[in-house]
Chain A
Amino acid sequence: LAKTTQPISMDSYEGQEVNITCSHNNIATNDYITWYQQFPSQGPRFIIQGYKTKVTNEVASLFIPADRKSSTLSLPRVSLSDTAVYYCLVGALASNDYKLSFGAGTTVTVRA
């Protein structure tokens, strides 16, 4: 199971871009990189997923270098409502060793 390392917290201001980098040095060939967002007293919510290079959707971008040992979640022009905990996960659901667990996550605080 690939272990992930993320910063514990990050502060930002409204309108800025927030970049959160996650390290996953022992990522396996079949593993995907997935990011979730969680607000207090709610279940995590899927943000974005990728395997390599760059993935972009309506809320975020995910940058994955060629060696896939790290990934960066980019949140463009954050607002106060983006204040949440962000989790980086590495795993493959179809894997026989699937035991997907979240790390401590990164608490992002957006200030006005």
Chain B
Amino acid sequence: DAGVTQSPTHLIKTRGQQVTLRCSPKSGHDTVSWYQQALGQGPQFIFQYYEEEERQRGNFPDRFSGHQFPNYSSELNVNALLLGDSALYLCASSLGLAGDSYNEQFFGPGTRLTVL
């Protein structure tokens, strides 16, 4: 059973460019969340997708956008890249939003983005 997979592993871009990161959730999961982790800090929540819609969003500008496909995979797009966007971008999958309990998130290995 494949866990959460992300591509690419590493990416180098220059300021002003656009980037697309991809994530495939764990088998059976239908919810995908994206996080940004700067060096030495904890992951910060960007947004979450469920049923192909953005359900929750953290404190990130509109330059960060996403998409979820019918097969539950997801993309994170970042436009007009800034030096400060350099970070490890993590994707996490979980099962649904229903119920009262917290649903465990499974994280992928991340994509290391460097903006020069």
A binds B: yes
Query: How many residues of chain B have a CB within 8 Å of chain A?
Result: 33
Is A46 engaged at the interface, CB distance under 8 Å to the other chain?
A: yes
How distant is the Cα of A85 from the Cα of B37 in the complex, in angstroms?
13
* Minimum CB–CB distance for B31 against chain A, Å: 8
Is B74 engaged at the interface, CB distance under 8 Å to the other chain?
A: no
Whether A46 pairs with B109 at a CB distance below 8 angstroms is: no
Is B29 engaged at the interface, CB distance under 8 Å to the other chain?
A: no
Which of A42, A49, A92, A104 is B42 in contact with, Cβ under 8 Å?
A104
Q: Smallest CB-CB separation from A30: which chain B residue?
A: B100
Contact with B along A30-65 (1 / 0, CB 8 A): 111010000001111110010000000000000000
Is B14 engaged at the interface, CB distance under 8 Å to the other chain?
A: no
Q: Smallest CB-CB separation from B101: which chain A residue?
A: A32
Which of B92, B94, B102, B108 is A32 in contact with, Cβ under 8 Å?
B102
How distant is the Cα of A7 from the Cα of B99 in the complex, in angstroms?
32
Which of B100, B102, B107 is A49 in contact with, Cβ under 8 Å?
B102
Instruction: Sample 12 A-B pairs with CB under 8 A, ordered by A number.
Output: A30-B100, A43-B92, A43-B109, A45-B107, A91-B102, A94-B101, A98-B56, A99-B57, A101-B43, A101-B58, A103-B42, A104-B41
B residues contacting A by CB (< 8 A) are 4, 33, 35, 41-45, 48, 55-58, 88, 90-92, 94, 97-110, 112
